């Protein structure tokens, strides 16, 4: 924040009228003058009733400037809106049988009415896939085609028939869904603590960036909470100092120097050059005081486990030999929303695994690279830093209301599954095999299904070559489920890239409509909306209700108003998806007409209501105005009042012209500017300076 000056010979002449006030810049505090939301004036200009005519003129200059500022900006949200419409009328192709299976081309099923994705010219080119082109997908090979190994948004709807009455259409529970499919796995760097700190720390290397509702999330992993029985995904944005700086230059510390790194405060407290030890003070974003850490520097990279060090002492880089490298890497962990999460790691040399284990997920790490004595004789240390920012998780939750109290309920479901592959090497698509609803885990490969006639096969011993599709289970748990005479198996020993491959997991973040939409009860024309909402750090809990702004992200419109009985197995006017993605808002400036002189009053007209309702600009100092045949009068009585209270500290009798800002002068939250000088010319100069500073 810059402090203005009224001239080269008046360095520091813009004064601060209160001992507690900070330097004040009118150009950075325009709300003092005008309400930015309404364009109405926030201030009144006060000139002495007995002031010289030049003071009145100067007050008019300020009023004219405030009048030119009398405008406000209206921010109008803008959206990219995409729609997909069914035919009108819409006849259900699968005759409302949720389990109907059509094994046509690519083994696609026709048991849902529409499944929208961002592009259907890639792999997703058969019904029921339809294109809703504003839906996001990760075009990782940059070919402008959505492929089934690319993370994406999906929307599906399935209309069914009331089995008791035959009334159609009904949207049953979970038959309208929005979801983000995660097709890739995050990667990690594993840093090891050192010889006597053999802890392995998991640092996120490359998260999976996906869009879910209105926001992007850097997905860093997923898991299952055995206490709450919830599945979850974890997100967070990693930062490495070597990515932020040119080389290590910015991470060179002098002893006693403190640097900030994404909310972390790091101080080089001390160095022992002879033993190559460093003492750090580290304070986290929520810490009240820093913690002390002492490290002895290793010659090995932090990614090499100490078990593979061939000479501990030689690689300590200490001038005095036989000093142990007891600690090298500082890793600080944090339970993310009460989830104490570990990452599995393996270490390979010459394509052979030589070490493996679990690594703690860290939110901050520091690796001391080296110490040295600089040209000035000061001890220095070089470090590489890591910080995980904006981390949190999403977990299973039921009956949440993202659009507010009066709208529909949704379930948030985190789903894992492993993609099945048919005989052609492509993913087989959605086929229901468990509950009558086309859920994310409903995949099938007809070429590997088999019938167990006598039901005598063990769950853990599926027949060779007959491994059926994975359902919603963790990769390490084999499964058998009998569905209409078919046994489905999951093979934990499957080779890489097949059913049991843990690197092939797909994850979905699903919003499922929990409200039954019965067209007879809810109305023949329905618009079902899903809104964006501020997601709590640890995700919405059961029965969460959004109490903030709820911008609509996705809508399903159904119109069967031409069929009052709803028995013709058609939706008379069809159905439609609409999806909105927010883009840069439109700014519209509205100008407010203000008569400049309507905001200028005499000092004897100022009321207590004005003092507590407006900021005041006092033109003129406490000096006496002498008129022929009259007693001398104070130029501005309110200025003198503030001087008498000790709030104004400028020596106005000698001032060459300046302005003084006094916060909370007459009322809390209402401030005052005194614009004055030793005489009328100095006051005019002060007014010109204020206007100039206000406009630059």
Q: What is the pLDDT of residue 372?
A: 85
Contact present, 634 and 662 (Cβ < 8 Å):
no
608 versus 92: the higher-pLDDT residue is 608
Buried b / exposed e along 560-583 (16+ C-beta atoms within 10 A): beebeebeebbbbbbbbbbbbeee
* 209 token code pair: 């960036």
Measure the CA angle with vertex 605, ends 604 and 608; round to 5°: 100
pLDDT band at 180 (very low <50, low <70, confident <90, very high): very high
Query: Would you state the pLDDT for residue 656?
Result: 93
Instruction: Tally Cβ neighbours within 10 Å of residue 629.
Output: 4
CA distance 617 to 80: 46
Mean pLDDT value of segment 374-391: 89
pLDDT of residue 313: 46
From residue 542, how far is each of 228, 336, 409, 414, 549 by CA, in Å? 12, 19, 11, 14, 20
Residue 163 phi/psi, 5-degree rounding, is -65, -20
Q: What is the pLDDT confidence band of residue 505, given thresholds at 50, 70 and 90?
A: low
What is the rounded average pLDDT of the residues 57-86? 89
Q: How confident is the model at residue 462 (pLDDT cuts 50, 70, 90)?
A: very low
Q: Give the tens place of pLDDT for each residue, 210-231.
A: 999 999 999 999 888 878 888 8
Provide the 10 A C-beta neighbour count for residue 215. Answer: 12
Strand intervals (E) in 122-199: 129-131, 152-157, 170-171, 176-182, 187-192
**pTM assigned to the model:** 0.67
What is the rounded average pLDDT of the residues 573-602?
A: 88
Calculate the CA dihedral of residues 560, 565, 566, 569 and round it to 10 degrees.
Answer: -130
pLDDT of residue 235: 96
How far apart are the C-alpha atoms of 388 and 394, rounded to whole Å? 17
Q: Which residues contact 352 (CB under 8 A, 6 or more apart)?
A: none
> In this model, does residue 603 exceed pLDDT 80?
yes
- Report, as an integer, the average pLDDT of 288-298: 87
Average of pLDDT values for 129-139? 91
What pLDDT is attached to residue 601?
94
pLDDT band at 334 (very low <50, low <70, confident <90, very high): confident
Backbone angles phi, psi at 107, to 5 degrees: 60, 30
What mean pLDDT comes out for the span 332-356? 82
Q: Is the model's pLDDT at 450 over the cut of 50?
A: no
Is the pLDDT assigned to residue 266 strictly greater than 80?
yes
- Using left for φ > 0, alpha for ψ between -120 and 50, and beta otherwise, residue 357 falls in left
What is the spatial distance between Cα 198 and Cα 296, in angstroms, rounded to a whole number? 14
526 pLDDT more than 80 = yes
pLDDT at residue 312 in the model = 52
What distance in Å separates the CA atoms of residue 47 and residue 69, rounded to the nearest whole number? 21
Q: Lowest mean pLDDT of 245-249, 514-518, 531-535, name the range.
A: 245-249
- How far is 60 from 603, CA to CA, in rounded Å? 15
Dihedral (C-alpha) 355, 357, 362, 364: value to the nearest 10 degrees? -20
- The more confident residue out of 189 and 468 is 189
In the predicted structure, residue 400 carries a pLDDT above the cut 90: yes
- Residue 513 pLDDT > 50: yes
Give the Cα separation of 693 and 671 in Å (integer).
Answer: 18
Note the helical H segments in 21-116: 53-68
Domains of the chain: 15-70+592-694 (3.30.379.10), 241-394 (2.60.98)
Rounded-to-integer distance, Cα 507 and Cα 416, Å:
5
Gap between the Cα atoms of 682 and 11, Å rounded: 16
pLDDT in tens, 556-582: 999 998 888 887 888 999 999 999 877
Least reliable range by pLDDT among 4-8, 155-159, 486-490: 4-8
For residues 470 and 475, give the distance between their C-alpha atoms in angstroms, rounded to a whole number.
9
pLDDT tier, 669 (very low <50, low <70, confident <90, very high otherwise): very high
CA atoms within 13 A on the CB side of 694: 22
Give me the long-range contacts of 95-104 (CB less than 8 A, separation at least 24): 95/569, 96/159, 96/160, 96/161, 96/168, 96/569, 98/158, 98/160, 98/432, 98/436, 98/437, 98/438, 99/432, 99/436, 101/431, 103/446
Dihedral sign, Cα of residue 95, residue 99, residue 105, residue 108:
positive
**Predicted confidence (pLDDT) at residue 424 exceeds the cutoff of 60:** no
Compute how many other C-beta atoms are within 10 angstroms of the C-beta atom of residue 607: 9
For position 135, what pLDDT does the model report?
Answer: 93
Q: Is the peptide bond before 89 cis (omega within 30 degrees of 0)?
A: yes
- In this structure, of 125-129, 200-204, 278-282, 614-618, the range with the lowest mean pLDDT score is 125-129
d(CA 71, CA 53): 30
Is residue 111 over pLDDT 70? no
Q: What is the pLDDT of residue 178?
A: 94
Q: What DSSP assignment string belongs to 60-86?
A: HHHHHHHHHT-EEEEEEEEEEEEEEE-
Tokens of 531: 């809104």
Decide if 366 contacts 339 (C-beta within 8 A): no
Contact between 468 and 485 (Cβ < 8 Å) = no
Tell me the C-alpha distance between 273 and 55, whole Å.
Answer: 69
- Is 451's pLDDT higher than 50? no
What is the pLDDT averaged over residues 94-99? 41
> Using an 8 Å Cβ cutoff, are 190 and 184 in contact?
no
> Confidence class of residue 170 from pLDDT cuts 50, 70 and 90?
confident
Whether 446 has a pLDDT exceeding 50, the answer reads no
Does pLDDT of 326 surpass 60? no
Residue 685 has pLDDT above 50, yes or no: yes
pLDDT at 477 exceeding the cut of 90: no
* Phi and psi at residue 37, to the nearest 5°: -90, -25
Cβ atoms 672, 681 nearer than 8 A: no
* CA angle centred on 355, ends 351 and 356, rounded to 5°: 110
Res 305 pLDDT > 70: yes
Q: In this model, does residue 690 exceed pLDDT 70?
A: yes
Neighbours of 437 (CB within 10 A): 18
User: Could you tell me the two tokens for 147?
Assistant: 């492929």
**What is residue 311's predicted lDDT score, i.e. its pLDDT?**
62
pLDDT classification of 497: cutoffs 50, 70, 90: very low
What distances in angstroms separate CA 124 from CA 130, 430, 506, 560, 585, one per listed residue?
8, 12, 17, 29, 33
Average pLDDT of 346-371? 84
Residue 4 has pLDDT above 70, yes or no: no
| Rounded CA separation 642/68 (Å) | 29
Q: Are 528 and 556 in contact (CB under 8 A)?
A: yes
């Amino acid at each position: 924040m810059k402090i203005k000056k009224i001239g080269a010979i008046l360095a520091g002449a813009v004064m601060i009228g209160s001992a507690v006030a900070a330097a004040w810049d009118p150009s950075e505090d325009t709300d003092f003058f005008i309400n930015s939301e309404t364009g109405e004036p926030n201030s009144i200009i006060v000139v002495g009733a007995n002031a010289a005519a030049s003071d009145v003129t100067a007050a008019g200059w300020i009023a004219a400037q405030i009048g030119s500022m009398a405008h406000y900006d209206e921010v109008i949200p803008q959206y990219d809106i995409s729609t997909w419409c069914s035919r009108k009328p819409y006849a259900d192709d699968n005759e409302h049988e949720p389990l109907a299976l059509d094994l046509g081309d690519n083994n696609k099923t026709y048991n849902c009415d529409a499944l929208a994705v961002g592009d259907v010219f890639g792999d997703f080119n058969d019904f029921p896939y339809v294109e809703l082109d504003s839906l996001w997908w990760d075009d990782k090979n940059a070919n402008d085609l959505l492929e089934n190994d690319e993370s994406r948004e999906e929307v599906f709807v399935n209309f069914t028939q009331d089995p008791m009455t035959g009334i159609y259409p009904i949207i049953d529970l979970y038959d309208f869904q929005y979801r983000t499919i995660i097709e890739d796995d995050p990667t990690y760097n594993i840093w090891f603590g050192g010889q006597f700190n053999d802890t392995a720390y998991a640092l996120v290397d490359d998260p999976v960036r996906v869009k879910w509702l209105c926001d992007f999330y850097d997905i860093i992993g997923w898991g299952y909470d055995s206490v709450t029985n919830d599945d979850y995904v974890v997100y967070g944005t990693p930062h490495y100092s070597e990515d932020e700086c040119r080389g290590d230059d910015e991470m060179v510390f002098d002893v006693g120097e403190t640097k900030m790194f994404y909310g972390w405060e790091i101080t080089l407290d001390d160095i022992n050059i002879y033993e190559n030890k460093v003492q750090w003070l580290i304070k986290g974003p929520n810490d009240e005081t820093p913690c002390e850490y002492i490290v002895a520097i290793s010659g090995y990279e932090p990614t090499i486990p100490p078990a593979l060090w061939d000479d501990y002492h030689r690689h300590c880089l200490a001038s005095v030999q036989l000093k142990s490298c007891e600690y090298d890497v500082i890793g600080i962990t944090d339970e993310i929303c009460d989830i104490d999460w570990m990452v599995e790691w393996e270490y390979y040399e010459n394509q052979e695994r030589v070490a493996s284990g679990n690594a703690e997920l860290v939110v901050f790490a520091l690796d001391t690279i080296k110490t040295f004595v600089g040209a000035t004789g000061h001890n220095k240390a070089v470090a590489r830093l890591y910080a995980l920012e904006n981390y949190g998780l999403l977990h299973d939750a039921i009956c949440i209301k993202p659009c507010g109290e009066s709208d529909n309920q949704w379930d948030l479901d985190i789903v894992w599954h492993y993609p099945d592959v048919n005989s052609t090497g492509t993913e087989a698509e959605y086929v229901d095999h468990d509950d009558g609803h086309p859920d994310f885990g409903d995949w099938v490969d007809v070429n590997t299904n088999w019938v167990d006639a006598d039901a005598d096969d063990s769950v853990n011993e599926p027949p060779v070559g007959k491994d059926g599709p994975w359902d919603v289970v963790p990769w390490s748990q084999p499964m058998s489920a009998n569905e209409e005479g078919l046994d489905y198996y999951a093979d934990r020993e499957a080779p890489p890239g097949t059913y049991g491959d843990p690197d092939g997991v797909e994850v979905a973040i699903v919003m499922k409509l929990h409200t039954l939409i019965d067209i007879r009860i809810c109305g023949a024309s329905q618009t079902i909306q899903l809104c964006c909402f501020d997601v709590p750090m640890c995700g919405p809990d059961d029965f969460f209700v959004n109490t903030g702004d709820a911008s609509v992200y996705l809508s399903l419109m159904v119109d069967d108003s031409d069929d009052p009985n709803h028995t013709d197995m058609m939706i008379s006017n069809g159905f439609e998806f609409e999806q909105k993605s927010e883009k840069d808002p439109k700014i519209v400036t509205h100008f407010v007409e203000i008569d400049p002189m309507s905001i200028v009053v005499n000092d004897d007209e100022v009321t207590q209501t004005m003092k507590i309702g407006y900021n005041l600009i006092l033109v003129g100092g406490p000096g006496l105005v002498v008129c022929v045949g009259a007693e001398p009068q104070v130029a501005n009585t309110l200025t003198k009042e503030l001087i008498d209270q000790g709030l104004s500290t400028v020596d106005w009798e000698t001032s060459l012209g300046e302005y003084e800002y006094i916060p909370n002068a007459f009322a809390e939250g209402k401030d005052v500017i005194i614009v004055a000088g030793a005489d009328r010319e100095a006051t005019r100069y002060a007014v010109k300076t204020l206007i100039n500073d206000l406009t630059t």
